[in-house]
């Protein structure tokens, strides 16, 4: 499942497929980016982060890609599982600020 290049508020993906969630960030001066996962009734949970001097970072089943040229951030989830159903937020911060500016969020629904 993928919302190619654009931020869409919802994404439906088949269990086992890969998911790609896109985010367009607002400030070209931002130098630190984070992806959060928010499950129903819970607060945002840190998934993975990336600094502006990198263009790719991998975690467990997740990969974050950063394209500073077009101010675009994406989160790739490999082999999506039912437990991955949640709202995913990207967030950015300015240098020496660390105050998070969140995107609108993408609701991911995993189909069995």
Partner 1 sequence: EAGVTQFPSHSVIEKGQTVTLRCDPISGHDNLYWYRRVMGKEIKFLLHFVKESKQDESGMPNNRFLAERTGGTYSTLKVQPAELEDSGVYFCASSQKRGYNSPLHFGNGTRLTVT
Q: Kindly list the distances between the CA atom of residue 74 and the CA atoms of 25, 26, 36, 61, 96, in Å, as whole numbers in the listed order.
A: 10, 14, 12, 14, 23
Contact range with partner 1 by CB under 8 A, out of 17-25, 35-43, 60-68, 72-80: 35-43
Give the number of C-alpha atoms closer than 13 A to the C-alpha of residue 26, restricted to the C-beta side. Answer: 10
In this structure, are residues 110 and 15 in contact, taking their beta carbons and an 8 Å threshold?
Answer: yes
Residue 48's CB is within 10 A of a number of other CB atoms, namely 17
> Which is nearer to partner 1, 41 or 83 (by Cβ)?
41
In this structure, are residues 105 and 86 in contact, taking their beta carbons and an 8 Å threshold?
Answer: no
Examine residue 101 and tell whether it contacts partner 1 (CB under 8 A): yes
Nearest approach, Cβ of residue 112 and partner 1 (Å): 26
Tell the residue number behind the tokens 């001097």, with chain if given: 53
Nearest approach, Cβ of residue 78 and partner 1 (Å): 22
Examine residue 83 and tell whether it contacts partner 1 (CB under 8 A): no
Nearest approach, Cβ of residue 4 and partner 1 (Å): 22
Applying CB under 8 A, which of residues 34, 64, 77, 108 lies at the interface with partner 1?
34
Nearest approach, Cβ of residue 14 and partner 1 (Å): 26
Residues near partner 1 (CB under 8 A): 32, 34, 36, 41-46, 49, 51, 89, 98-105
């Amino acid at each position: 499942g993928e919302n190619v290049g654009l931020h869409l508020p919802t994404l439906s993906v088949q269990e086992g497929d890969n998911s790609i969630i896109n985010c367009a960030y607002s400030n070209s001066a931002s130098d630190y980016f984070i992806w959060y996962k928010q499950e129903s009734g819970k607060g945002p949970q840190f998934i993975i982060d990336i600094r502006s001097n990198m263009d790719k970072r991998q975690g467990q089943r997740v990969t974050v890609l950063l394209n500073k040229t077009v101010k675009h951030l994406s989160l790739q989830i490999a082999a999506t599982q039912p437990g991955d159903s949640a709202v995913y937020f990207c967030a950015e911060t300015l240098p020496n600020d660390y105050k998070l500016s969140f995107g609108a969020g993408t609701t991911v629904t995993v189909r069995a």
